[in-house]
């Protein structure tokens, strides 16, 4: 067993761990953040991608010990849950008499531009590969703010998806890139068939 | 994985000592991108891991005393890909940026790939063509091996169990005029199914003074197509019978008579195609040299 | 969790009709933020970890010795096959319709495939369980291994499934198939051209990224066994599990967590589910069993491989008058769904051509390889690969344009509703228009008139069932229960497990439109057999049409109740009432009326306000069982309630130096009927295409002669990556709304897969003159075929038939015949 400490999403996490513990296991079982997924343990599918000291790595193929003192960012860091009034859906007089309670939740308005773009472009179906895709794209777009579709495809070629065929993911990445460059994008018109 | 102890020495000497003390069960951990796969499959069962994470001296690139380019083996592929190297040495950066995938390149190291020496890996073939040298240190001292002595024809390398690769040194700029790497993969980011690397030095009249043509994948270590190399010397690139040389090189490293499986037959054809591509690029560069 | 929606930029009211709109999914927030809980994310106090030892040998008699395991650190229990004999009931009969159970949690006295379960251990940690597996001693007495299906048919081939008497079995054949429609001999006489070719297709893994897994939690106090599992069908799993464990069904509860896709590979019960339950029952603690990627390749079920000896009979005009075929299917060592792939896939795959004379024989065979199961496409890609290539080969021989042959033979929109000779009842289609559109978009005529060197175009046309009558259960049933809660919100209960298809979204769209409830007020409950109505599950592209119809009906029933109450309270005529904006109001007076939330609470808390005779509470349940047939003994029947249509076309370029085939352009045109959510449907087509392109161009199960799967890793398995996929920006819909499904919708999940392998093969054949009769079509095969074609000088070259090392039959005359007298079995 070895003592280890690292920062995950800004929070220090320390524990005594089996030397064999993988970074993904540390994040999920010690850090209690289950957004990072294990699809293969072979460093191929990319579902486990996280940012370590500013660069994405496949956390299933890194020992927790290799991340000693590192700054780790996971998908949960792209938008944090916050305490806010829950939406009131009662339409009646209760609404004007009592104020809504606060609860911790994720909010669409707080999403990272990539997450928003994924939502608007239907870039996720089962969602299992999504956290890894988001982390790789985040790192890629920060380094390459104005990519071509081909460059985006190459950037995510270390991430497998079996549901979307990648098309909407590339659409979302291009849209998010525009937003991240400060450009205005058209509202996605929700078209009828 | 089976259990192991983990050490993170803060100097190269300490690392060599830890490796020696650990005996045959001790293994070096650089980026871990190859090693961890073996650990998870329980194919490798080390009792001890010696991490190079604190050894800054093994990262980065510098000019060696003789003008050669010394690459720290613990340099990540991503760092190499971002570096701008002079002249033909730039091919190192290009190749480093076009293997594995982004996430693996961010932590995988050139030394790790070279020591794993999988026949499908890019760097061993590239370094073999460039005629690189490999410095190995241990508690017993230091030695430098040339490419042909470093890679083991039966697979892997000739690194002793207690040795650490401490430098990969490319020859000085004047040694070559051009370094060209060609490969083919089925999918964008996976191991190559064919690799070819060509290093050429032109003389003053832009004729080929020396050539090294290294072919990967077809054998357990990079194979030099020596006869093809010799046939190139003394000619200008534009004079080269490209199809002939390509066929001869392929025949030399994987004789058709031995190419029995479909995979081997394909490798044979692919080697021809990749050598042709390398030679065409050489011709284009040769033209640029005038 | 709150249910906010994107800030509404238009008016306060949502559009009147959500069905037909690309509403962004409600599922997304949890998935995007990493807060959704997949199986591996669930933790229970006291949870233990089970690991399964699997056979490294493909065919051997075994003796398993687990005695060294107990007493190892952290180990609580161990089990293997022999101790379960007579206690756990073998399963498989109900699914296969073959009246025999040939599935068991572990191999008992022999293993039949690499990966076959040998024993299992449960321990405190994963590592302790894995260490314990290494202490299990197995003796193997090796038997000859049958990898190729034709070897399994040989007279002297060893029997793989011993001691099992299959109804249609004979040696390693475990099921047979037969179609006899019309008069094939007359057709042969009448035909101007009979063109025949042998085609072979590959095994393929769904490779859903979320591994198969479960957590069993047996409560020793109540005797209730709860299983959380990555399953596409909670009720089929519950009933199979309860049956195998001989437990009352009301004491077995299946709950589905968030599931990361399935594609058909998660639609049956697996050994690891039984193992986890058995351990949990013995120990009274939760037991976790999640498979590794290598396990999933070897035992998680895969597409069935086929050899199709196919002949197409045509007149010189191009009219197709007959089809004759002998199919040999490789379903691995055991298979729950495999035989139905031949039955259903062949029947539906004959569309869109209403061929009058059919003579088809099929043998479904065991080999010592991975179990075959359901996978996206379900036999249709295989028959289309054969039939649509024969069409282009026939066109070449007759001097016709393949487009014209297809157009002349396909059923058309105008003909519908139409019943085909084999008995399919197609209520509506636009597949003929899809064909022309695909041809136009790929520039079929231009490219064929002016063919660039090493480039070519290919097409295919196919139809897909929208759900299918379950072959052995004789049902195609889904159900939805709706509950209008006392505050006007709505809960949907369904047992058809969503695993990426967006049920929570599109079912809410339907409910919102029918009930007039705000979209954000509707929630889909997690699938749980404790509270969901019985339904078959999500597979066979059935959700939108079958589940959607059950949902629509349930919503309409609920609406009737709501309107009845409102009519009573408002003293209005129900005919004058409208629903919308969470209200029921008199038509024309939209600002008045009753809020649903008041109305809903009346219905339970102020029952004197209800109309006389009205039954309190606002729940409604509706089922939908499609009007479909079982297969007749001559192979006839209409298995599907409605049919989606697809026509695809590709423009490819082949590299002469490496063999790489690049898709320059790909066109997909579909008929998905009335589309509930266009963006979701488009996503389904893209995903269907991905599975098709993987099957066509790289994915495969590579075995050595000893039955070892050599590429059971993502490193080797050629799942397409983003940079290897073409841009899919030529995707069109030509809707021909279903006349049978009330909402007009058709299935979308698999339409994108069927045509793909044929399209690629046809395009490559046009580009290079090399016709691939085997899958996958890979760069190495392409290059070697080009070299051999150049060497032989043949104008038309077939791979692998015309390669020098090919040992199979090269022409129709040397084809094998079915074993035994097929007619005796039917």
Report yes or no: C171 and C352 within 8 Å, Cβ to Cβ.
Answer: no
Are the beta carbons of B191 and C127 separated by less than 8 Å? no
Compute the nearest-CA separation of C468 from chain A (Å).
22
Are the beta carbons of A155 and B107 separated by less than 8 Å? no
Percent pLDDT > 70 in chain A is 93
User: At A191, is the pLDDT very low, low, confident or very high (cuts 50, 70, 90)?
Assistant: very low
B184-237, pLDDT tens digit by residue? 999 998 999 999 999 999 999 989 999 999 999 999 999 999 999 999 999 999
Overall average pLDDT of the C354-362 stretch? 97
Nearest-Cα residue of chain B relative to residue A46:
B103
Buried b (16+ CB within 10 A) or exposed e, B20-59: eebeeebbbbbbbbbbbbbbbeeebebebbbbbbebeebb
Give the chains touching B; criterion: ≥3 Cβ pairs < 8 Å.
Answer: A, C
Kindly state the tokens that stand for A69: 């003192």
Are the beta carbons of C500 and A163 separated by less than 8 Å? yes
User: At C10, is the pLDDT very low, low, confident or very high (cuts 50, 70, 90)?
Assistant: very low
Q: Which of residues 98-137 of B touch C (CB under 8 A)?
A: none
The whole-number pLDDT of residue B210 equals 97
Buried b (16+ CB within 10 A) or exposed e, C196-221: bbbbbbbbbbbbbbbbbbbbbbbeee
Q: What is the mean pLDDT of chain C?
A: 94
The whole-number pLDDT of residue B166 equals 97
Chain B partners of A46 at a C-beta cutoff of 8 Å? 101, 103
A94, A113, A122, best to mutate vs chain C, most C CBs in 10 Å: A122
User: At C540, is the pLDDT very low, low, confident or very high (cuts 50, 70, 90)?
Assistant: confident
DSSP readout, C779-814? HHHHHHHHHHHHHHT-SSEEETTTSTT--S--SGGG
Give the chains touching C; criterion: ≥3 Cβ pairs < 8 Å.
Answer: A, B
Output phi, psi for C578, to 5 deg: -120, 155
User: At A92, is the pLDDT very low, low, confident or very high (cuts 50, 70, 90)?
Assistant: low
- Residue B102 to residue B81: CA distance in whole angstroms: 11
Report yes or no: C313 and C320 within 8 Å, Cβ to Cβ.
Answer: yes
Compute the nearest-CA separation of C715 from chain B (Å).
7
Are the beta carbons of B189 and C721 separated by less than 8 Å? yes
The whole-number pLDDT of residue C333 equals 97
- Residue C595 to residue C488: CA distance in whole angstroms: 8
Residue A110, judged by CB atoms within 10 A of its CB (0-12, 13-18, 19+), counts as middle
Q: Map tokens 């540390």 to a residue.
A: A26
Report yes or no: B184 and B193 within 8 Å, Cβ to Cβ.
Answer: yes
DSSP readout, C582-600? TEEEETT-TTSSEEHHHHH
Report yes or no: C287 and C228 within 8 Å, Cβ to Cβ.
Answer: no
Helix (H, G, I), strand (E, B) or coil at C715: coil
- Residue C338 to residue C749: CA distance in whole angstroms: 19
Compute the nearest-CA separation of A188 from chain C (Å).
10
User: At A192, is the pLDDT very low, low, confident or very high (cuts 50, 70, 90)?
Assistant: very low
User: At B286, is the pLDDT very low, low, confident or very high (cuts 50, 70, 90)?
Assistant: confident
- Residue C704 to residue C234: CA distance in whole angstroms: 37
Among candidates A20, A65, A158 on the partner chain, residue whose Cβ is nearest the Cβ of B102: A158
Are the beta carbons of B266 and C784 separated by less than 8 Å? yes
Percent pLDDT > 90 in chain A is 82
Helix (H, G, I), strand (E, B) or coil at C111: strand
Report yes or no: C617 and C427 within 8 Å, Cβ to Cβ.
Answer: no
The whole-number pLDDT of residue A88 equals 66
- Residue C415 to residue C478: CA distance in whole angstroms: 30
User: At B268, is the pLDDT very low, low, confident or very high (cuts 50, 70, 90)?
Assistant: very high
Compute the nearest-CA separation of B270 from chain C (Å).
6
C487-527, pLDDT tens digit by residue? 899 999 999 889 999 999 999 999 999 999 999 999 999 99
Q: State the distance between the two ends of chain C, measured CA to CA, in whole angstroms.
A: 57
For C473, other C-beta atoms within 10 Å of its C-beta total: 14
Output phi, psi for C470, to 5 deg: -60, 125
Percent pLDDT > 90 in chain C is 86
**Torsional sign, CA C671, C676, C679, C681:** negative
Q: Which of residues 260-289 of B touch C (CB under 8 A)?
A: 262-263, 265-266, 269-270, 273, 276-277
Look at residue C567 and tell me whether its pLDDT is greater than 60. yes
The whole-number pLDDT of residue C819 equals 85
Buried b (16+ CB within 10 A) or exposed e, C730-761: bbbbbbbbbebbebbbbbbbbbbbbbbbbbbb
- C787 touches B at CB < 8 Å: yes
Are the beta carbons of C780 and B1 separated by less than 8 Å? no
CA–CA distances in Å: residue C424 to residues C38, C182, C196, C631: 40, 15, 25, 11
Look at residue B29 and tell me whether its pLDDT is greater than 50. yes
- C784 touches B at CB < 8 Å: yes
Least confident segment among C152-166, C359-373, C438-452: C152-166
- C8 touches A at CB < 8 Å: no
Compute the nearest-CA separation of A128 from chain B (Å).
18
Look at residue C590 and tell me whether its pLDDT is greater than 80. no
The whole-number pLDDT of residue C163 equals 85
User: At A96, is the pLDDT very low, low, confident or very high (cuts 50, 70, 90)?
Assistant: low
Are the beta carbons of A157 and B187 separated by less than 8 Å? yes
Alpha helices for A21-129 (secondary structure H): 23-25, 94-97, 113-121
Chain B partners of A19 at a C-beta cutoff of 8 Å? 3-6, 49
Among candidates B1, B37, B103 on the partner chain, residue whose Cβ is nearest the Cβ of A42: B37
The whole-number pLDDT of residue C3 equals 35
Q: Which of residues 69-108 of C touch A (CB under 8 A)?
A: none
Q: What is the pTM of this model?
A: 0.96
- A89 touches C at CB < 8 Å: yes
Among candidates A42, A127, A164 on the partner chain, residue whose Cβ is nearest the Cβ of C683: A164
Chain B partners of C803 at a C-beta cutoff of 8 Å? none
Cis peptide leading into residue C709 (ω within 30°): no
Q: What is the mean pLDDT of chain B?
A: 95
Count how many Cα atoms sit within 13 Å of the Cα of residue C606 in the half-sphere of its side chain.
10
Chain A partners of C751 at a C-beta cutoff of 8 Å? none
Report yes or no: C364 and C176 within 8 Å, Cβ to Cβ.
Answer: yes
The whole-number pLDDT of residue C11 equals 37
Where residue A69 falls (left for φ over 0; alpha for ψ -120 to 50; beta otherwise) is left
- B36 touches A at CB < 8 Å: yes
- Residue B123 to residue B111: CA distance in whole angstroms: 9
DSSP structure class, residue B76: B
Look at residue C178 and tell me whether its pLDDT is greater than 90. yes
Are the beta carbons of A78 and C33 separated by less than 8 Å? yes
- Residue B9 to residue B15: CA distance in whole angstroms: 5
- B167 touches A at CB < 8 Å: no
DSSP readout, C346-382? HHHHTTT---S-EEEEEEEE--SSPPB---TTTTHHH
Output phi, psi for B80, to 5 deg: -60, -40
User: At A193, is the pLDDT very low, low, confident or very high (cuts 50, 70, 90)?
Assistant: very low
Q: What is the mean pLDDT of chain A?
A: 93
Report yes or no: C139 and C127 within 8 Å, Cβ to Cβ.
Answer: no
Chain B partners of C722 at a C-beta cutoff of 8 Å? 188
Chain C partners of B266 at a C-beta cutoff of 8 Å? 659, 780, 783-784
Nearest-Cα residue of chain A relative to residue C583:
A91
Chain B partners of A157 at a C-beta cutoff of 8 Å? 101, 187-189
Q: Which of residues 57-86 of A touch C (CB under 8 A)?
A: 74-76, 78-79, 81, 84, 86
- Residue B146 to residue B136: CA distance in whole angstroms: 11
Chain A partners of B81 at a C-beta cutoff of 8 Å? none
DSSP readout, C29-94? HHHHTT-S-BGGG---TT-EEEEEEE-SSSSEEEEEE-TTTTTSTTEEEEEEGGGGTTTSPPB-HH
CA–CA distances in Å: residue C168 to residues B141, C150, C177, C237, C507: 74, 18, 9, 26, 42
Nearest-Cα residue of chain B relative to residue C655:
B273
Report yes or no: A174 and C734 within 8 Å, Cβ to Cβ.
Answer: no
- C724 touches A at CB < 8 Å: yes
The whole-number pLDDT of residue B115 equals 97
C685-741, pLDDT tens digit by residue? 999 999 999 999 999 999 999 999 999 999 999 999 999 999 999 999 999 999 999
Q: What residues does C652 pair with on adjacent strands?
A: C456, C663
Cis peptide leading into residue C703 (ω within 30°): no
Q: Map tokens 């299983």 to a residue.
A: C227
The whole-number pLDDT of residue B246 equals 97
CA–CA distances in Å: residue C509 to residues C132, C513, C552: 51, 6, 10
Residues 6 or more apart in contact with residue B158 via CB below 8 angstroms? B145, B149, B150, B151, B152
Chain A partners of C30 at a C-beta cutoff of 8 Å? 106, 127
- What size, in residues, is chain B? 290
B147-176, pLDDT tens digit by residue? 999 999 999 999 999 999 999 999 999 999
Query: Edge-to-edge strand order for the sheet containing C213-219?
Result: C75-80, C117-123, C48-54, C287-290, C213-219, C224-229, C252-255
User: At B290, is the pLDDT very low, low, confident or very high (cuts 50, 70, 90)?
Assistant: very low
Report yes or no: B274 and B196 within 8 Å, Cβ to Cβ.
Answer: yes
C73, C74, C125, C657, best to mutate vs chain B, most B CBs in 10 Å: C657
Chain C partners of A160 at a C-beta cutoff of 8 Å? 207, 209, 714, 719, 721
Element (H, E) at C678: helix C678-697
Percent pLDDT > 70 in chain C is 97
Chain B partners of C658 at a C-beta cutoff of 8 Å? 184, 270, 273
DSSP structure class, residue B230: H
- A7 touches C at CB < 8 Å: no
Report yes or no: C527 and C548 within 8 Å, Cβ to Cβ.
Answer: no
For B284, other C-beta atoms within 10 Å of its C-beta total: 12
- C27 touches A at CB < 8 Å: yes
Overall average pLDDT of the C569-590 stretch? 91
User: At A100, is the pLDDT very low, low, confident or very high (cuts 50, 70, 90)?
Assistant: confident
Helix (H, G, I), strand (E, B) or coil at B51: strand
Overall average pLDDT of the C158-164 stretch? 93
């Amino acid at each position: 067993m070895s003592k280890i400490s690292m920062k995950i999403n800004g929070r220090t996490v320390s524990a005594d761990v089996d030397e064999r513990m993988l970074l993904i296991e540390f994040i999920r079982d010690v850090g209690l953040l289950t957004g990072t997924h294990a699809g293969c343990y072979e460093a191929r599918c990319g579902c486990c991608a996280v940012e370590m000291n500013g660069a994405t790595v496949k956390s299933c193929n890194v020992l927790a010990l290799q991340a000693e003192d590192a700054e780790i960012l996971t998908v949960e860091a792209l938008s944090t849950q916050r305490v806010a009034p829950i939406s009131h859906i009662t339409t009646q007089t209760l609404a004007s008499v009592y104020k809504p309670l606060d609860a911790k939740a994720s909010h669409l308005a707080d999403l990272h531009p990539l997450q928003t773009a994924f939502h608007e472009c239907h870039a996720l179906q089962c969602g299992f590969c999504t956290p890894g895709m988001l982390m790789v794209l985040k790192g890629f777009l920060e380094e390459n703010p104005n990519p071509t579709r081909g460059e985006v495809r190459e950037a995510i070629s270390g991430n497998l998806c079996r549901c979307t065929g990648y098309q909407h993911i590339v659409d979302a990445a291009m849209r998010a890139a525009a937003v991240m460059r400060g450009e205005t994008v058209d509202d996605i018109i929700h078209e009828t068939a | 994985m089976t259990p192991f102890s983990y050490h993170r020495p803060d100097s190269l000497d300490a690392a060599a000592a830890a490796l020696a003390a650990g005996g045959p069960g001790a293994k070096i951990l650089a980026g871990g991108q190859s090693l961890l796969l073996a650990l998870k499959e329980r194919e490798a069962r080390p009792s001890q891991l010696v991490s190079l994470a604190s050894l800054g001296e093994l990262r980065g690139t510098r000019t060696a005393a003789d003008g050669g380019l010394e690459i720290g083996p613990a340099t990540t592929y991503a760092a190499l890909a971002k570096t701008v190297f002079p002249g033909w040495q730039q091919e190192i950066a290009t190749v480093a940026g076009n293997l594995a995938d982004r996430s693996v390149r961010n932590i995988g190291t050139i030394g790790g790939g070279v020591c794993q020496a999988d026949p499908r890996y890019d760097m061993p073939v590239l370094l073999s063509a460039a005629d690189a040298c490999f410095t190995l240190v241990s508690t017993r001292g230091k030695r430098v091996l040339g490419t042909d002595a470093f890679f083991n024809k039966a697979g892997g390398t000739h690194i002793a169990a207690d040795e650490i690769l401490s430098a990969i040194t490319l020859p000085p700029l004047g040694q070559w005029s051009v370094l060209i790497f060609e490969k083919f993969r089925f999918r964008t980011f996976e191991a190559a199914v064919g690799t070819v690397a060509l290093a050429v030095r032109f003389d003053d009249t832009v004729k080929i003074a020396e050539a090294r043509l290294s072919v990967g994948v077809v054998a357990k270590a990079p194979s030099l197509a020596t006869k093809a190399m010799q046939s190139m010397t003394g000619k200008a690139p534009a004079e080269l019978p490209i199809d002939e040389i390509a066929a001869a090189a392929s025949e030399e490293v994987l004789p058709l008579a031995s190419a029995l499986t479909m995979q081997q037959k394909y490798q044979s054809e692919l080697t021809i195609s990749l050598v042709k591509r390398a030679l065409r690029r050489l011709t284009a560069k040769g033209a640029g040299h005038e | 969790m709150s249910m906010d929606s994107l800030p509404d930029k238009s008016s306060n009211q949502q559009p009147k009709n959500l069905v037909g709109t690309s509403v962004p999914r409600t599922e997304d927030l949890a998935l995007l933020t990493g807060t959704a809980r997949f199986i591996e994310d669930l933790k229970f106090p006291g949870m233990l970890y089970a690991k399964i030892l699997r056979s490294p040998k493909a065919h051997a008699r075994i003796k398993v010795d687990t005695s060294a395991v107990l007493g190892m650190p952290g180990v609580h229990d161990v089990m293997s096959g022999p101790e379960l004999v007579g206690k756990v009931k073998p399963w498989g009969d109900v699914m296969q319709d073959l009246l025999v159970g040939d599935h068991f949690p572990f191999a008992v006295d022999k293993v039949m495939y690499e990966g076959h379960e040998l024993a299992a251990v449960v321990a405190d940690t994963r590592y302790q369980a894995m260490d314990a597996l290494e202490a299990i001693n197995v003796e193997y007495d090796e038997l000859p291994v049958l990898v190729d299906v034709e070897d399994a048919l040989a007279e002297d081939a060893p029997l793989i499934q011993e001691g099992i008497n299959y109804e249609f079995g004979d040696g390693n054949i475990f099921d047979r198939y037969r179609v006899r429609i019309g008069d094939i001999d007359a057709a042969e006489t009448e035909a101007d051209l009979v063109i025949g070719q042998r085609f072979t297709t590959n095994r393929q893994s769904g490779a859903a990224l979320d591994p198969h897994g479960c957590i069993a939690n047996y409560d020793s106090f109540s005797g209730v066994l709860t299983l959380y599992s990555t399953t596409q069908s909670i009720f089929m799993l519950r009933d199979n599990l309860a049956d195998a464990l001989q437990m009352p069904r009301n004491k077995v509860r299946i709950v589905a967590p968030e599931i990361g896709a399935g594609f058909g590979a998660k639609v049956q019960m697996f050994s690891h589910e039984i193992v986890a339950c058995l351990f949990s029952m013995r120990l009274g603690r939760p037991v976790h069993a999640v498979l590794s990627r290598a396990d999933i390749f070897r035992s998680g079920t895969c597409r069935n491989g086929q050899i199709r000896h196919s002949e197409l009979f045509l007149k010189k005009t191009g009219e197709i008058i007959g089809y004759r075929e002998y199919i040999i299917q490789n379903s691995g060592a055991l298979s729950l769904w495999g035989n139905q792939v031949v039955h259903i896939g062949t029947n539906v795959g004959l569309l869109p051509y209403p061929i009058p004379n059919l003579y088809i024989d099929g043998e479904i065979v065991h080999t010592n390889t991975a179990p075959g199961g359901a996978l996206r496409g379900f036999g249709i890609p295989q028959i289309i690969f054969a039939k649509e290539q024969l069409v282009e080969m026939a066109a070449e021989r007759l001097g016709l344009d393949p487009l014209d042959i297809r157009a002349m033979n396909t059923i058309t929109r105008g003909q519908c509703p139409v019943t085909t000779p084999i008995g399919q009842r197609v209520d509506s289609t636009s597949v003929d228009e899809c064909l022309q559109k695909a041809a136009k978009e790929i520039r079929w005529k231009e490219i064929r008139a002016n063919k660039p060197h090493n480039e070519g175009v290919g097409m295919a046309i196919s139809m897909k069932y929208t759900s299918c009558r379950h072959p052995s259960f004789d049902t195609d049933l889904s159900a939805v229960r709706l509950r209008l809660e006392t505050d006007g919100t709505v809960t949907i209960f369904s047992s058809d497990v969503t695993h990426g298809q967006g049920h929570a979204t599109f079912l809410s769209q339907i409910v919102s439109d029918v009930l007039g409830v705000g979209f954000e007020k509707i929630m889909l409950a997690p699938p749980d057999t404790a509270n969901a109505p019985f339904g078959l599950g999500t597979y066979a592209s059935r959700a939108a049409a079958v589940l959607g119809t059950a949902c629509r009906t349930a919503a309409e029933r609920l609406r009737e109740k709501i309107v009845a109450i409102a009519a009573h309270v408002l003293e209005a005529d129900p005919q004058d009432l409208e629903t919308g904006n969470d209200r029921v109001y008199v038509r024309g007076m939209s600002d008045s009326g009753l809020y649903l939330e008041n109305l809903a609470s009346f219905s339970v808390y102020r029952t004197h306000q209800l109309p006389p005779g009205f039954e309190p509470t606002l729940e409604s349940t509706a089922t939908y069982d499609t009007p479909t047939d079982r297969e007749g003994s001559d192979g006839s029947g209409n298995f599907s309630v409605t049919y989606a249509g697809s026509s695809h076309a590709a423009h490819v370029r082949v590299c002469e130096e490496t063999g790489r085939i690049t898709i320059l352009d790909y066109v997909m045109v579909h008929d998905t009927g009335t589309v509930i959510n266009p963006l979701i449907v488009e996503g389904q087509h893209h995903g269907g295409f991905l599975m098709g392109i993987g099957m066509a161009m790289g994915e495969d199960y590579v075995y050595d002669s000893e039955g070892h799967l050599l590429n059971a890793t993502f490193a080797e398995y050629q799942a397409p990556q983003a940079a290897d996929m073409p841009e899919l920006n030529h995707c069109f819909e030509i809707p021909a709304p279903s006349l049978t499904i009330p909402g007009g919708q058709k299935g979308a999940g698999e339409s994108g897969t069927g045509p793909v392998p044929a399209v690629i093969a046809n395009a490559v054949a046009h580009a290079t003159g090399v016709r691939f009769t085997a899958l996958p079509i890979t760069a190495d095969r392409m290059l070697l075929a080009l070299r051999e074609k150049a060497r032989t000088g043949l104008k038309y070259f077939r791979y692998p038939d015309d390669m020098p090392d090919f040992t199979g039959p090269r022409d129709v005359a040397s084809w094998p015949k079915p074993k035994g007298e097929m007619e005796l079995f039917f």
